[in-house]
Amino acid sequence: MNAAPGRTHGLSKSRLVAWLQCPRRLWLEVNRPDLRLDDLAIRRRFAVGHQVGALARDLEAGGVLVGHEDDLAAALEDTRRALDRLPGKPLFEPAFQHDGLLVRIDLLLPEDERGHRHHLVEVKSTASVKGYHLPDAAIQAWVASQAGLHLSRVSIAHLDTGFIYPGNGDYRGLFRRTDITASIVPLLERVPDWAAQARVVLAGEQPDIQPGDQCDTPFECPFRHYCCPPAPEYPVTLLPDRRGKAMARALAAEGHEDLRDVPAGRIVDPLQQRIHDATRNGRAVLDPEAAAQIGAVGWPRYYLDFETIAFAVPLWAGTRPYQALPFQWSCHTESAPGQLRHADFLDTTGQAPMRRFAERLLATLGKTGAIIVYSAYERRILDGLARAFPDLADPLRAVADRLFDLLPLTRAHYYHPAMKGSWSIKAVLPTVAPDLDYGALGEVQDGTSAQAAYAEIIDPATPAERRASLTDALLDYCRLDTLALVRLAWFLEEGGRNRTGN
């Protein structure tokens, strides 16, 4: 696909940032926006960014918002007028342009009453300053300075995860400002060169750039599905964790793409070797030690899973930004071999659910019996609840003492080629219980969509019918999570036999 001949392009900061990630991405953003695929995670990140930006403005008293999102000329004119007529006022989203490069600044704060010097603040929804914030801020600062603004300093306002929300809409203290003036100095002089290079890209044909690390740095590129060729069914990159990734790079450098083509003996790490052998042979491996360890767990057994949500902007008093807050659990109880009953909890009131979550959980789990989970996450959440509710701390810690984590056991003793290097329950389940299928669930099929569904359910603007259907979807999803644990335990205990039952 070629660029339209003779077409010229204005450059916004976001386009230049796209070029910094990958010149091909910039070209596609401009010429083939139809190919862009914004998944749920990307959409949620944008929504959080807007929410955080609006809150930062609310906290800056007496500011003036320069609107005209879609009218550059009007935004530039309003910015100029505001700087002339309201020199001592903070400005939100003022627009500046230099040499065809356009920026909108989150917060522009006057440093004196006459507005001779300004403090440029970029607002981010992260919990700290990230490396990729620096070129972003350098572009803003360079354009604003070239447009005639005297900047005394440049800061990133990010969320302070130590902030505890006192409630009643009082978010003073939510943001921490970090001065990055010195850090961006070396970048400022590079901005015009970046812009020139980006324009060369836009004037040319689609850059022939191969997918690589840039496709996920700093974020997953929305054109991945377009650029990345279908991988072999068993690529060397399926080797898990950091050591596996290092081995995959070494194998790729040796010309291996498909794990099945790697000769025996080339891989020596025991875990990688197990994956390699199973993949080459096309057969699962199951160590009888798994059955022995699960067999030692008596009855009753409780199979437990939590769902949590982490709000960038705390919603409930006493909570912090990005604190993992439990709102739902599912529990299958196996009172005797094969005898199951199910219980669950999901608070959709919009009120803080953590206390009721803990109380209902304690009432369900009884005093004895192993509680089977599939990660260390449930233990961390129980610890947090024990700290939050001191009167429940002893029983919650007693529950934590009964946890039996099936993940390390499975990882150590079981692998099926179809798991493709992953021991997530969603990767394992089809190999141990093919009759159960996350793909057959409704709108909620993973943790990200579970969080999105919960956020929508407790949004007062959500219609009742939609709330009801999302509630059902969440309940089905979490129920399948614990039924999957039941079936995995049975499978391992019975030496790989697939026993059904719900």
> How far are the Cα atoms of 125, 284, 391 from residue 165, in angstroms, in the given order?
16, 50, 22
Stretch touching ligand SF4 by CB under 6 A, among 5-13, 216-224, 345-353, 415-423? 216-224
Binding to ligand SF4 in span 174-213, by CB under 6 A: 209, 211
Nearer to ligand SF4, 27 or 490 (CB): 27
Query: Which residue in this structure is represented by tokens 């020139």?
Result: 196
Binding mask 217-256 for ligand SF4 (x = CB under 6 A): ----x-xx--x-----------------------------
**Main-chain dihedrals φ then ψ at residue 488, nearest 5 degrees:** -65, -45
Query: Pairing between strand 107-110 and 91-92?
Result: antiparallel
- 24 in contact with ligand SF4 (CB under 6 A): yes
The alpha carbon of residue 223 and the mean position of all alpha carbons in its chain are separated, in whole angstroms, by 18
Structure-token pair, residue 350: 């919009």
Rounded to the nearest whole angstrom, what is the least distance from the CB of residue 209 to ligand SF4 in the complex?
5
State the CB neighbour count (10 A cutoff) for residue 317.
12
Rounded to the nearest whole angstrom, what is the least distance from the CB of residue 229 to ligand SF4 in the complex?
11
Binding to ligand SF4 in span 278-297, by CB under 6 A: none
The H or E element spanning position 84 is helix 72-85
Q: Which of 13, 15, 25, 413 binds ligand SF4 (CB under 6 A)?
A: 25
> What is the Cα–Cα distance from 31 to 227, expressed in whole angstroms?
15
Nearer to ligand SF4, 23 or 94 (CB): 23
> What is the Cα–Cα distance from 315 to 308, expressed in whole angstroms?
14
**Main-chain dihedrals φ then ψ at residue 393, nearest 5 degrees:** -60, -45
Stretch touching ligand SF4 by CB under 6 A, among 19-27, 165-173, 398-406, 492-500? 19-27
Stretch touching ligand SF4 by CB under 6 A, among 24-32, 302-310, 372-380, 381-389? 24-32
State the DSSP code for 258: B
Rounded to the nearest whole angstrom, what is the least distance from the CB of residue 228 to ligand SF4 in the complex?
6
Nearer to ligand SF4, 223 or 404 (CB): 223
Nearer to ligand SF4, 223 or 311 (CB): 223
Q: Which of 75, 215, 312, 419 binds ligand SF4 (CB under 6 A)?
A: 215
State the CB neighbour count (10 A cutoff) for residue 300.
15
- 340 in contact with ligand SF4 (CB under 6 A): no
State the CB neighbour count (10 A cutoff) for residue 200.
11
Instruction: Give the bridge partners for 166, in sequence order.
Output: none
Nearer to ligand SF4, 175 or 223 (CB): 223
- 323, 313 in Cβ contact below 8 A? no
The alpha carbon of residue 288 and the mean position of all alpha carbons in its chain are separated, in whole angstroms, by 37
Nearer to ligand SF4, 153 or 224 (CB): 224
Nearer to ligand SF4, 112 or 216 (CB): 216
Q: Which of 11, 17, 20, 22 binds ligand SF4 (CB under 6 A)?
A: 22
Nearer to ligand SF4, 46 or 219 (CB): 219
Total number of residues binding ligand SF4 (CB under 6 A)?
Answer: 13
Q: Which of 28, 137, 154, 419 binds ligand SF4 (CB under 6 A)?
A: 28
Spell out a b/e string for 356-367, using b for 16 or more CB atoms within 10 Å of the CB, else e. Answer: ebbebbbeebee
Rounded to the nearest whole angstrom, what is the least distance from the CB of residue 19 to ligand SF4 in the complex?
10
Structure-token pair, residue 197: 């290079």
Q: Is the peptide bond before 463 cis (omega within 30 degrees of 0)?
A: no
The H or E element spanning position 329 is strand 325-336
Nearer to ligand SF4, 22 or 275 (CB): 22
Query: Residue 93: left if φ>0, alpha if ψ -120 to 50, beta else—which one?
Result: left
- 30 in contact with ligand SF4 (CB under 6 A): no
Residues within the interface to ligand SF4 (CB under 6 A): 21-22, 24-25, 28, 209, 211, 214-215, 221, 223-224, 227
